[in-house]
Amino acid sequence: MNETLLKIDGIEVTAKEGMTILEAARSAGINIPTLCHHEKLAPYGACRICVVEVDAGGRTSLVAACLYPVQPNLVVRTRSEKVDKTRKILLEQFLAHAPDAPALQDLAREYGADKDRFEKEASFCILCGLCVRYCAEVKKKNAVGFVDRGSSREISFIPEIASKECWNCKECFPLCPTSYLQAAYHLTEALAFPRDPFKSMSGK
């Protein structure tokens, strides 16, 4: 496979053709934050927290590192005023939905994001799609999916599938950046397919 030379944060990085900026950066030990990326899943581009600044052909632009393919002589900045400002605003929007999520709070500290900047819409889910895509692409079960559109969009377990498939899997739980997923599962289980009446009553 052909190799491509690019520059990330002033460091020359050799990447394989077809790699994304995120993959090239990680191969060189350079950190770019992500919320919707998972190495086993197809790139999705939902959260945009992986935004970086690129210079290509004399033009500077902001792109999603998890989607953008490496190119010869590409110059990438993983931190800049514009990048940090964009990440800060994104985090402030996510925190309006999930103000107590530790993964978001850690990033908020790093980028100076104010969790109270936007009015709270505590949906607790930031629609990263990790749970839905992991269940579909890796487990091939589709036990959790998106329902509704626009501002009403949310994830929902499909009780008929979840009751058979989830109880001994739960591989999606640790992927969720807000821990909403676990709560949604236990609610579905309690309402639609309680496995153990005592367990459902105690909320565990």
- Count of residues interacting with ligand SF4 (CB under 6 A): 14
The CA-atom distances, in angstroms, between 61 and each of 74, 80, 117, 154, 182 are 12, 12, 26, 31, 37
Residue nearer to ligand SF4 on the CB measure, 63 or 130? 130
Residue numbers 64-93 binding ligand FES by CB under 6 A = 64, 66
**Residues near 135 by Cβ (< 8 Å), separated by ≥ 6?**
141, 142, 143, 144, 172
Q: Give the residue among 24, 129, 128, 30 at the shortest CA–CA distance from 66.
A: 24
Question: What CA–CA distance (Å, rounded) separates 99 from 112?
Answer: 14
Minimum distance, C-beta of residue 167 to ligand FES, in the bound complex (Å):
29
- Minimum CB separation from ligand FES for residue 56, in Å? 18
Q: Which of 4, 20, 78, 178 binds ligand SF4 (CB under 6 A)?
A: 178
Report the C-alpha gap between 113 and 89 in whole angstroms: 7
Taking CB under 6 A as the criterion, which residues in 57-96 touch ligand SF4?
A: none
Indicate if the alpha-carbon torsion angle 97, 101, 104, 109 is positive or negative: positive
Amino acid identity, residue 166?
A: C
Among residues 48, 87, 97, 115, the one that binds ligand FES under rule CB under 6 A: 48
Task: Sketch the per residue contact string, 138 through 157, with ligand SF4: x for CB under 6 A, - otherwise.
Answer: -----------------x--
Is residue 47 within the footprint of ligand FES (CB under 6 A)?
yes
- Measured CA to CA, the distance from residue 47 to residue 33 in angstroms comes to 10
Q: Which is nearer to ligand FES, 179 or 200 (CB)?
A: 179
Shortest spacing between CB 173 and ligand SF4, in angstroms: 9
Rounded-to-integer distance, Cα 38 and Cα 193, Å: 30
Contacted entry of ligand FES, ligand SF4, none for residue 46, CB cut-off 5 to 8 Å set by kind: ligand FES
Judged by CB under 6 A, the chain residues 10 through 39 that form the site for ligand FES are: 34-37
Binding to ligand SF4 by CB under 6 A, coded x per residue (else -) over 103-132, reads ----------------------xxxxxxx-
CA dihedral 142, 105, 35, 145 (to 10 degrees): 20
The one-character DSSP state at 20 is B
Length of the chain: 204
Residues in contact with ligand FES by the rule CB under 6 A: 34-37, 45-50, 64, 66
